[in-house]
Amino acid sequence: MNIERNNYIPRLLIRPERSFFLFGPRGTGKSTLLRQVLPEALHLDLLDASLYLELSRDTHRLEAI
């Protein structure tokens, strides 16, 4: 069941000026929230092992993003 709650989100979310980390348990709607509220945002899933290893080997690359 998908409940439409878009009208509540803007009042609760303060949009960051630069970047932020969004932490929380799996399956709680973090990615869904980001897609709904910030569809243009860059999303990096550091639980993706290959992406994590690639960025951890070259930290300057992450800074450049």
The pLDDT assigned to 49 comes to: 94
Against a cut of 0.75, is the pTM above it?
A: no
pLDDT(40) > 90: no
CB proximity list for 10: less than 8 A, separation 6 or greater? 37
Q: What are phi and psi of 12, to 5 degrees?
A: -95, -20
Mean pLDDT, residues 28-54: 87
Which single residue is written with the structure tokens 């709650």? 5
Residue 47 phi, psi (nearest 5): -85, -10
- Give the pLDDT confidence score for residue 48 in this predicted structure: 92
